[in-house]
Amino acid sequence: MSSEKIPVAILGATGSVGQRFIQLLENHPWFVVKEVAASEKSAGKIYKEAVNWTQATPIPNKVANLTMKNCEPNLNSKLAFSGLDSSIAGEVETVFASEGYSVVSNSKNHRMDNDVPLLVPEINPEHLELIKKQKYTKGCIVTNPNCSAIGLVLALKPLVDTFGLEQVNVVTMQGLSGAGYPGVSSLDIIDNVIPFISGEEVKMENEPLKILGSLKGNSIKNLDLKISAQCNRVAVMDGHTECVQVKLKKKTSVEEIKKVWENFSAEPQKLNLPSAPEKPIHYFEEVNYPQPRIHRNIDKGMAVAIGRLREDSLFDYKFVIISHNTIRGAAGGAILCAELMKAKGMLG
Amino acid sequence: MSSEKIPVAILGATGSVGQRFIQLLENHPWFVVKEVAASEKSAGKIYKEAVNWTQATPIPNKVANLTMKNCEPNLNSKLAFSGLDSSIAGEVETVFASEGYSVVSNSKNHRMDNDVPLLVPEINPEHLELIKKQKYTKGCIVTNPNCSAIGLVLALKPLVDTFGLEQVNVVTMQGLSGAGYPGVSSLDIIDNVIPFISGEEVKMENEPLKILGSLKGNSIKNLDLKISAQCNRVAVMDGHTECVQVKLKKKTSVEEIKKVWENFSAEPQKLNLPSAPEKPIHYFEEVNYPQPRIHRNIDKGMAVAIGRLREDSLFDYKFVIISHNTIRGAAGGAILCAELMKAKGMLG
Amino acid sequence: MSSEKIPVAILGATGSVGQRFIQLLENHPWFVVKEVAASEKSAGKIYKEAVNWTQATPIPNKVANLTMKNCEPNLNSKLAFSGLDSSIAGEVETVFASEGYSVVSNSKNHRMDNDVPLLVPEINPEHLELIKKQKYTKGCIVTNPNCSAIGLVLALKPLVDTFGLEQVNVVTMQGLSGAGYPGVSSLDIIDNVIPFISGEEVKMENEPLKILGSLKGNSIKNLDLKISAQCNRVAVMDGHTECVQVKLKKKTSVEEIKKVWENFSAEPQKLNLPSAPEKPIHYFEEVNYPQPRIHRNIDKGMAVAIGRLREDSLFDYKFVIISHNTIRGAAGGAILCAELMKAKGMLG
Amino acid sequence: MSSEKIPVAILGATGSVGQRFIQLLENHPWFVVKEVAASEKSAGKIYKEAVNWTQATPIPNKVANLTMKNCEPNLNSKLAFSGLDSSIAGEVETVFASEGYSVVSNSKNHRMDNDVPLLVPEINPEHLELIKKQKYTKGCIVTNPNCSAIGLVLALKPLVDTFGLEQVNVVTMQGLSGAGYPGVSSLDIIDNVIPFISGEEVKMENEPLKILGSLKGNSIKNLDLKISAQCNRVAVMDGHTECVQVKLKKKTSVEEIKKVWENFSAEPQKLNLPSAPEKPIHYFEEVNYPQPRIHRNIDKGMAVAIGRLREDSLFDYKFVIISHNTIRGAAGGAILCAELMKAKGMLG
């Protein structure tokens, strides 16, 4: 398989999610970045001159000298990862899918479309079937969830399956990279908290219902669940911390829940997908864990760290989760989706 | 009244709460710091040489050259503010009260004692009657609440009175000064969140029940209310941010609640106490307010700032509050208690 | 004098320097903000709706409801403070001066013009004479120095006068507000230092030569002095810290220099100008002082704090200085200039 | 060689430098941690229970369950890395050397001893000869330099060799981990700079003279060089940033200096030592590079990053350097010393 890697294009290649795609794909065993595309003002330039690279590792050599293309469906790579801004992602992705491209997108535009999988390979791999319902002859659109929703749903999935879930209350403390670059001004966040992130609470309250929903015929029946979310921005570079409370359908115990989390393993682990974490969930017993700077990179930044599980007087249990918002919560999550598609023979 | 100010002693004068007492009392119209006391290793030194002063304004001249005393009940000032460490506060304060001193304490030790008022002058001024029940002939002990509880109860009081309150859910993001000095290591908090503060959640879940309780005969009947608290430390110097959800007994509306908050005024405002905020509660309409760096000093740091009131799907309403943890939440709050005592003729 | 305050206009009123002008002038005894002007897209709006106010105190009531005007010379106030962006300040200020306005500017454009005073009232009040040479019939342009130069020249002035100065070496650690708003991205500065500020080193190496120069006939003869500057951005909200080394012409001692600094007092102090610091220079003996968060607001933010004076093996002496970059280094400095003009009868 | 790894002991194993030794040696090809020793209060405990582990990666399994020993010379490993506190390092290291142990130390105590190499393998590998002069029959003491000196001397070495060096002026902005744990209080450094680090300036002014000195007979003749240092603490986790100015003996050019740096390669590179960086110096052309968060980990954290080389009006050239203070500047640097000793047959 590795002798002939699948060529991929990055749409929105100069943005912060686009950069993460390029960084994470540098030594990928299945995919190789062959084309980089962005807005017209970049087209024609050499990538390294068009980009304001802000990752901690240098631009991969093979990508640095690629010539930037327009986001038009005349690319050679039939798999496109989209990190496009939501102001244009909706239309561009539709055009690409119509022209036969498989589009795996981190943008919010198509996430809630009836025929588009909002895919988390550990949770709802069967939702991929939805793409057969899409109107496109050959192409398709697959999306991954919002960066604050992904950590939450990974923690909830084993609870839904084992105990049933009635209510979820979540308060987030989110990292700065979630706002893109330049994003949050330093004058707004040093020695401060901003108790508001535009549009975020709605996404957190709705996306999990679809992700945890079930495929009936060829549509998704949302999980019947009430979520209330409050989202805050804090002075953390990467990593979203979430204080979660849950009300379960079935009685259980702290020890039982920990066991269910620790034992959780799913399709990506079984298929041994290259970007899959060894364990989707890592539970910590230390009283002051998890913490974003210590745990955001756990298992390649693809797992969720959980701690402080204890009983709650208003719900049943409360706990804290950490996940990496630009790896698991953006580019890494999308790459895992494409790996699942490849492994299932649903790419090209 | 101002011609003859009441002399006061500061117990634990070198600690961070002790320093705040000295700072806030610098130009107080009723009280004047005449004595500073701390542990034996400081006794005998000049204050400015014994203290590692960390406030933003210089040591008041009149205090700088006072000679430090032991925390023994041979002081001339009959009013003592205590910022003592909880490891010794319990016993020292009892000794002082026994010897006829009025002790107003910021330490946790006596807060939940049956005969000790846990006093918030805007909320429960009548609880002061409890001191008549204390076993001391002349002295007494009065306490003010934990720094994370004070902002919460100020916001809740008008809701309790107007609508009745059934449930409160709160998640905090607390400033660093709450941990004292040196407190939290910089290596633990830069680019990080610590989702745990030892003992804090228990205080937040219990103190409000007493503060909001009612005086029956000469004891307090706690308010019948369920509170769940989750406490986090964030990289903010001063100011506690709290995401709060409430379930009310009576139906109401967002506009009605705002009105009740804006109109809230109580005993300290009526008595025009020197440290009383003009308005205990300031509500902000800006979508991303309140923020700790912007609002912690509002109304001399003695008021609570609230914003983002909106309906909630699991409780009835949710909102965000900010209060200053070392002013309203510690020294400033205790001074207001003493002012109330003075105005009511209950000092010495 | 106070019964009839001088009406002033703020050019660039919505920017961060413009906001500081409005904040600092709120209760000014001589000046009152009557007009606010900015770019065309703001003109016609109410100020409070046009501005993204980021100061720690609220918008002064009298200014909040002023209607924004264009930056065109049809204003009623004959004194204009300019916080305009340097992309347009040059031309706009010239137009205003031509039409008879007194313009006191914080922008860099005219600072090095031969006939424009680069005014620091404690240092070169006589440079004001230059405006008589300006080609304008009634109006004039006066500038104040760059935010990193002002602290330096205040520290150097007494050394120049008493000992003579040959060489200055300076390395800065500058606060974020110096870059305006939104300015530096949080992703660029948390857990980081940026060892570069565009254009800053050139200003620091050149402006002091003019400021410390002498008025000969009607032009300035620069001081004969070599300065080398290296400028860094650090994660500090306000306040510039500078490590300075000096080579003097005359031999002296650490004690003698401290005395010269402590005794330094000048025209603004003699005239008792409203914004003048009581002492332009405060020296601290503590081994780890001065520090920006502790000392930036010293003497209303209008003085410079100095510490750590010691002998140096390559130059003669080294020391550390702190000054507030948006008070003394911008709006506050410009207001002091206008106060000097008023006191000398050189306004309108 | 790898089949039989050399057993090593870590002295001061619970401290922050001790932890780094254990972390960096986890998969070392030549050395394996077999013993961990610290103060009496830890002795007898399991390592993972004795330590407050603060590294970003977990405790290596093989070390986690080792039983802690006293720092007494009855260990089986004849090579000991010392991260001991300077209050006891001097004596303990002497005792170990007397008893036949090879001690490679990061502590300051013996650095300036006449017969102790202050070793930087890229700079002065021949200084190792000094240990033959030591009074110990079999054991020896080798030290590595202070964390702020190491980056500087690596940058200076090629200049000394090619152009000759007369004067060095350096101002540092140092990371927090240099102060150990808990080290700097968060209340002292958020939104602040501390322009003082106890004892640091003296080390920076003296250690380079010995490191860059030459072995004459069996003693070191210090380099004849004047250095002036000013040291500041900033809110950066790891990585020291230094603004450096140099006066050279021979005229040269910016381009020539860059070439000399880029081509610099030395003994550790030739011997291909496991911890050696591929290139000791990486030069960056970007106008705002190097930056600590981006470059501190370059080349395994063992290289120095340099940028902004330009002419200077007071010296000849100025530039900025970054190096990792707890890898290259502490444990990593000491391990490289031991690797050099092994490669030269000077271990046991």
Distance of CA A328 to the CA centre of its chain: 5
Q: Span D72-85, mean pLDDT?
A: 96
CB-nearest partner of B196 from A288, A294, A313: A288
CB-nearest partner of B191 from C191, C294, C297: C191
Contact A239, A301 (CB under 8 A): no
Contact A291 B195 (CB under 8 A): yes
Contact C188 A184 (CB under 8 A): no
Residue to test with chain B: of C52, C193, C286, C294, most B Cβ within 10 A: C294
A149 closest CA partner among A348, A334, A295, A330: A330
Q: What is the C-alpha to C-alpha distance for residues D117 and D128, in angstroms, rounded to an integer? A: 6
C101 closest CA partner among C13, C18, C7: C7
Q: What is the C-alpha to C-alpha distance for residues B299 and C122, in angstroms, rounded to an integer? A: 35
Selecting among A240, A282, A295, A324, the annotated active-site residue is A240
pLDDT digits 0-9 by tens, B264-320: 999 999 999 999 999 999 999 999 999 999 999 999 999 999 999 999 999 999 999
D48: enclosing H helix or E strand: helix D47-50
Q: Collapsing DSSP states into helix, strand and coil, what is residue D57?
A: coil
Q: Span B126-143, mean pLDDT?
A: 96
Q: What is the C-alpha to C-alpha distance for residues B330 and B3, in angstroms, rounded to an integer? A: 27
Can you tell me which residue has the tokens 């948390």?
A: C190
Contact C254, C309 (CB under 8 A): yes
**DSSP single-letter state for residue D5:** P
Q: Span B138-147, mean pLDDT?
A: 96
Residue to test with chain D: of B17, B177, B186, most D Cβ within 10 A: B186
Under the banding of pLDDT at 50, 70 and 90, the label for residue C93 is: very high
pLDDT of A2 reads 44
Chain C residues whose CB is inside 8 A of the B297 CB are 56
C207 closest CA partner among C100, C116, C301, C122: C116
A217 vs B9 pLDDT, higher one: B9
pLDDT above 90 coverage of chain C, percent: 94
Q: What is the C-alpha to C-alpha distance for residues D320 and D305, in angstroms, rounded to an integer? A: 8
Indicate if the pLDDT at residue B57 is higher than 90.
no
Contact C340, C276 (CB under 8 A): no
Interface of chain B against chain C, CB under 8 Å? Answer: 56, 190-191, 293-294, 297
Indicate if the pLDDT at residue D7 is higher than 70.
yes
Compute the residue count for chain D: 348
Tokens standing for residue B131: 């001191």
Interface of chain A against chain D, CB under 8 Å? Answer: 56, 190-191, 293-294, 297
Q: What is the C-alpha to C-alpha distance for residues A19 and A23, in angstroms, rounded to an integer? A: 6
Q: Distance from B219 to chain C by nearest Cα, in Å?
A: 43
Contact A181 C185 (CB under 8 A): yes
Under the banding of pLDDT at 50, 70 and 90, the label for residue C2 is: very low
Q: Which residues of D are catalytic?
A: 147, 240
User: Which pairing describes strands D102-105 and D79-82: parallel, antiparallel, or unpaired?
Assistant: parallel
Give chain D's mean pLDDT.
Answer: 96
Chain D residues whose CB is inside 8 A of the A56 CB are 293-294, 297
Q: Which has the minimum average pLDDT: C41-45, C305-309, D325-329?
A: C41-45
Chain C residues whose CB is inside 8 A of the A234 CB are none
Q: What is the C-alpha to C-alpha distance for residues D48 and D46, in angstroms, rounded to an integer? A: 6
**DSSP single-letter state for residue A185:** B
Under the banding of pLDDT at 50, 70 and 90, the label for residue D3 is: low
C209 closest CA partner among C181, C237, C167, C241: C167
Chain C residues whose CB is inside 8 A of the A187 CB are 54, 176-177, 181-184, 237
CB-nearest partner of D191 from A190, A293, A294: A190
With b for 16 or more beta-carbon neighbours within 10 A and e for fewer, the D49-61 pattern comes to ebbebeeeeebee
Tokens standing for residue A246: 């849950």
Q: What is the C-alpha to C-alpha distance for residues A205 and A190, in angstroms, rounded to an integer? A: 28
Cis peptide before A290 (omega within 30 of 0): yes
Q: What is the C-alpha to C-alpha distance for residues B289 and A195, in angstroms, rounded to an integer? A: 7
Chain A residues whose CB is inside 8 A of the B195 CB are 241, 243, 288, 290-291, 307-308, 320
Q: Span B49-69, mean pLDDT?
A: 91
Compute the residue count for chain C: 348
CB-nearest partner of B184 from D176, D186, D235: D186
Contact A185 C187 (CB under 8 A): no
B5: buried, middle or exposed (CB in 10 Å: 19+, 13-18, 0-12)?
A: middle
Packing angle, helices C147-163 and C200-211, rounded to 10: 40
To the query of whether residue C147 is one of the catalytic residues in this protein, the response is yes
Tokens standing for residue A333: 């999550």
The low-confidence residues of chain A, meaning pLDDT below 70, are: 1-3, 348
End-to-end CA distance of chain C: 15
| Chains in touch with A (≥3 Cβ pairs < 8 A) | B, C, D
CB count, 10 Å around CB of D181?
A: 16
Beta-bridged to residue D306, according to DSSP, are D283, D321
pLDDT digits 0-9 by tens, D155-204: 999 999 999 999 999 999 999 999 998 999 999 999 999 999 999 999 99
Contact B186 D181 (CB under 8 A): no
Selecting among C28, C110, C240, C295, the annotated active-site residue is C240
Query: Dmax over Cα atoms in chain D, in whole Å?
Result: 61
D301 closest CA partner among D135, D186, D154, D187: D154
Q: Distance from B177 to chain D by nearest Cα, in Å?
A: 7
pLDDT of B58 reads 83
Under the banding of pLDDT at 50, 70 and 90, the label for residue D10 is: very high
Residue in C closest to D318 by C-alpha: C230
Q: Give all strands (DSSP E) within chain C, no chain letters.
A: 6-11, 31-38, 69-70, 79-82, 102-105, 140-143, 165-174, 214-216, 219-221, 226-233, 240-248, 281-284, 304-311, 317-323
ipTM of the complex: 0.95
D252: buried, middle or exposed (CB in 10 Å: 19+, 13-18, 0-12)?
A: middle
Under the banding of pLDDT at 50, 70 and 90, the label for residue C48 is: very high
Q: Give all strands (DSSP E) within A122-267, no chain letters.
A: 140-143, 165-174, 214-216, 219-221, 226-233, 240-248
Distance of CA C347 to the CA centre of its chain: 19
Contact C181 A187 (CB under 8 A): yes
Q: What is the C-alpha to C-alpha distance for residues D270 and D249, in angstroms, rounded to an integer? A: 29
pTM for this predicted structure: 0.96
CB-nearest partner of C230 from D234, D292, D318: D318
User: Which pairing describes strands C304-311 and C317-323: parallel, antiparallel, or unpaired?
Assistant: antiparallel
| Chains in touch with D (≥3 Cβ pairs < 8 A) | A, B, C
Interface of chain D against chain C, CB under 8 Å? Answer: 167, 169, 171, 173, 191-196, 205, 226-228, 230, 232, 234-237, 241, 243, 245, 287-294, 307-308, 312-315, 318, 320
Can you tell me which residue has the tokens 């009283």?
A: A287
Under the banding of pLDDT at 50, 70 and 90, the label for residue C348 is: low
- Residue by residue, DSSP assigns D94-116 as HHHHHTT-EEEE-SSTTTT-TTS
Give chain C's mean pLDDT.
Answer: 96
C49: enclosing H helix or E strand: helix C47-50
pLDDT of D55 reads 85
Q: What is the C-alpha to C-alpha distance for residues C12 and B338, in angstroms, rounded to an integer? A: 48
Q: Collapsing DSSP states into helix, strand and coil, what is residue D281?
A: strand
Q: Distance from D228 to chain C by nearest Cα, in Å?
A: 6
pLDDT of B2 reads 44
pLDDT of A84 reads 96
pLDDT of D348 reads 65
Q: What is the C-alpha to C-alpha distance for residues A22 and A14, in angstroms, rounded to an integer? A: 10
pLDDT above 70 coverage of chain D, percent: 99
Q: Collapsing DSSP states into helix, strand and coil, what is residue A196?
A: coil
Under the banding of pLDDT at 50, 70 and 90, the label for residue B3 is: low
pLDDT of A53 reads 87
Residue in A closest to B319 by C-alpha: A230
End-to-end CA distance of chain A: 15
Tokens standing for residue D198: 């106890």
- Residue by residue, DSSP assigns A51-67 as ----SSSPPPHHHHTPB
Q: What is the C-alpha to C-alpha distance for residues D244 and D317, in angstroms, rounded to an integer? A: 8
Residue in A closest to D55 by C-alpha: A294
pLDDT digits 0-9 by tens, D236-255: 999 999 999 999 999 999 99
D323 closest CA partner among D307, D294, D293, D301: D301
Look at phi and psi of residue C97 and say left if phi exceeds 0, alpha if psi is from -120 to 50, else beta: alpha
B293 closest CA partner among C293, A173, C23: C293
Residue in A closest to D186 by C-alpha: A191
Chain C residues whose CB is inside 8 A of the A183 CB are 185-187
Can you tell me which residue has the tokens 């010393």?
A: D337
**DSSP single-letter state for residue C329:** I
Chain A residues whose CB is inside 8 A of the D297 CB are 56
